[in-house]
Homo-oligomer: A and B are copies of this chain.
């Protein structure tokens, strides 16, 4: 059944696949009066665009976006905003050979089982290209967030066995622009890039961790008991292709902590704050005004050129495949744009849900 919409008030419906005609999104529930241009969306799409460095796929897409509706004289008018990106540089030929041989680590087998008839070219709608829809929605969400001075930044904190050192919040944005890995620890970034290139050469790939930070989120976002802010963030991040884990604040470390260590004590500093931020800005599913911290574990790109064992679904026998095509040896750098977009969408939705932004007009 349907499953391509996210959000309860600020709603994003996305469409399109890797090798189809176009990809895009319809954003419904954006209040009227928000300044918005194609350029605002293009800027975000450019962050996830392929082919911008040595460590990404060489597929040559400009990913040029065109807004079709919902904007009047430079401002949103409260009606649905449809935006489209046409596919240009498709090379479907390599996928014909893989048609009945599901690629390990990919969704091919699951899609075949579920839909019978499906677009297997380049992963079809299971492709990372579908996150173009996320980023379109996220670009508009970010514009909404900006009206409340809320900022969302995602950066890479681990690639394989290389962990980045912690970097001051105010330097992260600046540092990640300086390297292709989008890692704020510039020394680690060098090693990460080397590792990625090394594995690329070997026909292999590697995973990592992406951390998303949201600053200036007001206290009070999140709807108990099922639509909690952390529940919604966990859902959207886990839903990004290749993500296998999500944690908030101290995350998995909390499992090893004592209450006396984990609890963030409150104090007055004009407003109410906590000294530590083990909670990652969310308590009981509701934001507490501290920086919101979410990390996601990204698995290594399943498309590797090494020979792999699989099955032939037609003959129902074991076989082997070698995947050709153009792939990212590590998707972490590009997926930061998707993480930012996803978290921004959730926050924008909750800002309206909780009355911080008027649902009809700014």
Contacts and interface: CB of A to CB of B under 8 A. Distances in A.
B80 A259 contact: no
A358 B220 CA distance: 13
B3 A5 contact: no
Given A251-B245, A297-B255, A361-B115, A3 B228 contact: yes
A227 B6 CA distance: 8
B246 A238 contact: yes
A67, A76, A84, A224 — most chain B CB neighbours (10 Å): A224
B248 A106 contact: no
A319 to B, nearest CB: 9
A28 B11 contact: no
A153 interface: no
A340 interface: no
Contact of A26 (B15, B199, B231, B298): B15
Contact of A33 (B7, B116, B272): B116
Contacts of A265: 104, 308-310
A343 to B, nearest CB: 14
A287 interface: yes
Given A5-B11, A105-B264, A245-B252, A286 B111 contact: yes
B219 A263 contact: no
Contact of A226 (B222, B226, B239, B358): B239
A123 B225 CA distance: 13
Interface stretch (A46-54, A55-63, A166-174, A276-284): A276-284
Contacts of A325: none
A32 B224 CA distance: 13
A138 interface: no
A254 B299 contact: yes
Interface stretch (A143-151, A178-186, A206-214): A206-214
A345 to B, nearest CB: 10
Given A232-B235, A263-B302, 17 more contacts: A2-B28, A4-B26, A4-B224, A5-B11, A16-B82, A17-B79, A20-B69, A104-B263, A104-B264, A104-B274, A110-B287, A235-B235, A235-B238, A245-B255, A253-B297, A261-B300, A263-B308
